[in-house]
Amino acid sequence: MSSVFRILLRRLGISVIVLIGVSMLIFAIARVIPGDPARIALGPNATAEQVAAIRTEMHLDEPIVAQYGHFVTDVLRGDLGTSLYTNRPVTQDIVEFLPATLELVIFAGLLMVALGLPLGILAARHRARWPDHVVRVLTLLTVSAPSFVWAVILMLVFAFYLPLFPVAGRIDDSYEIARVTGFLTVDTLIAGRFDAFLDVLHHLVLPAVALALSGIGQAARLTRANMVETYDKPYIEMAQAYGFAPGRIARRYAFKPSLIPSLTIIGLDFAAMLGNAFLVEAVFAWPGLSRYGVAVILRKDLNAIMGTVLVIALTFLIINIIVDLLIAFLNPRIRHSTRAAT
């Protein structure tokens, strides 16, 4: 187990370097965007003295390296500045909007894994027979349209023509749930309101499916392709020669070695959902960080943009670390070779 710990440490070290790079990039972008941040902050009617005063306050009169230094120390203190859009600290905005997005993305990710992997296993086990053909056609369909198209289609079909699901929002307005974590699925359970919990799930279905569909297709196709390759390996023939049932061979002997190469891409798909969530949240009026991100970009709200990008980058890194640990857990070759490598 200590070798897994070693992998974790190394990945964390790399992540710190990536984060430093991201912070520099964000900082640089913020400075090259046309327009004086001080002017934008104060609005068109400000006097020259007011502008000069805020320039000093925002350290805009200092050299660029010093400005970056201030930026980094502020970020490390959890201070991302004030948003012009909401007039509140950006940190506070993120704390408010991030849980909604994470809830959506996590549910979509669960759907991707819970549906994509079994579909891939099914197709590979019955390769070149009808279950395989059905899965391949369906998944080709899901990967060939972006998630916002699916969002509109699903909304039209299952919320408008067949009103099975709510059109928008996270929860019915009639419920009053005290905010604890910001994750409504968790908060409703903390409040002991099971009816509200079900209502939250009901609201989650369409956006999560829309967000997950292409990922489900991708995961299924990837799993199938890797498993079909694994089926040609001698150890599968050996498992057959020992009379293990075909289902058991598929789930245990062929799936596990095949999952290792798929996992990196599934992890990336999971992280990419954060980006796709921008559009799905817009369609379903989901009050999440992505919608906030769109709003602040349109208003050139620099502090809020930087904060949003930083949080998304951080989430990407965390997902990648989790994927790497999972791979190390699944692949004994990696788990046991780090000792020699480090």
Partner 1 sequence: MTDLLDIRGLTLGFRGLNGYTEVLHGIDLSIARGERVALVGESGSGKSVTARIILGLLQETRTARVAGRVNFDGRDISSMRARPRAALRGTDMSMIFQDPTSSLNPTFTIGRQFAEVMRRREAGLSQKACEARATAMLEEVSIPDPARVLSAYPFQLSGGMNQRVMIAMALVNNPKLLLADEPGTALDVSVQAQTLTLMQDLVARHNTAVLLISHNLGVVREFADRVYVIYRGRIVETGPTAAIFDRPGHAYTRALMAAVPRITGAGLPEVPEVSDDFLAPMVTHPEAT
Q: Which of 9, 156, 245, 285 binds partner 1 (CB under 8 A)?
A: 245
Q: Tell me which stretch binds partner 1 (CB under 8 A): 42-50, 58-66, 78-86, 255-263.
A: 255-263
**Distance in Å, CB of 129 to partner 1, minimum:** 8
CB of 242 to partner 1, least distance (A): 4
**Dihedral sign computed on CA atoms, order 253, 258, 264, 267:** negative
Nearer to partner 1, 1 or 32 (CB): 1
Q: Minimal distance in Å, beta carbon 262 to partner 1?
A: 14
Is 241 an interacting residue with respect to partner 1 (CB under 8 A)?
yes
Using CB under 8 A as the binding rule, the residues of this chain from 279 to 338 that contact partner 1 are 330-333, 336
User: Least separation, in Å, of the C-beta of 319 and partner 1?
Assistant: 23
**Residue choice 237, 247, 285, 318 for contact with partner 1 (CB under 8 A):** 237
Q: Of the candidates 50, 86, 240, 264, which one interacts with partner 1 according to CB under 8 A?
A: 240
Q: Tell the smallest beta-carbon distance from residue 30 to partner 1 (Å).
A: 47
Closest approach of partner 1 to the CB of residue 6, in Å: 18
Could you tell me which stretch among 11-19, 95-103, 236-244, 284-292 binds partner 1 (CB under 8 A)? 236-244
Nearest CB to partner 1, comparing residues 96 and 132: 132
**Considering only residues 244, 297, 300, 325, which one is a binding residue for partner 1 as defined by CB under 8 A?**
244
Site size toward partner 1 (CB under 8 A) is 21
Q: Please list, residue by residue across 217-253, b when 16 or more beta carbons sit within 10 angstroms of its beta carbon and e when fewer do.
A: bbbbbbbbbbbbebbeeeebeebeeeeeeeeebbeeb
Q: Which stretch binds partner 1 (CB under 8 A): 51-59, 130-138, 148-156, 235-243?
A: 235-243
238 touches partner 1 (CB under 8 A): yes
Does residue 253 touch partner 1 according to CB under 8 A? yes
Name which of 227, 72, 206 is nearest 151 in CA terms.
206
Please identify which residue in 173, 174, 242, 340 interacts with partner 1, judged by CB under 8 A: 242
- Give the per-residue contact string, 194-233, with partner 1 (x = CB under 8 A; - = no): ---------------------------------------x
Q: Which positions lie near partner 1, rule CB under 8 A?
A: 233-235, 237-245, 253, 256-257, 260, 330-333, 336
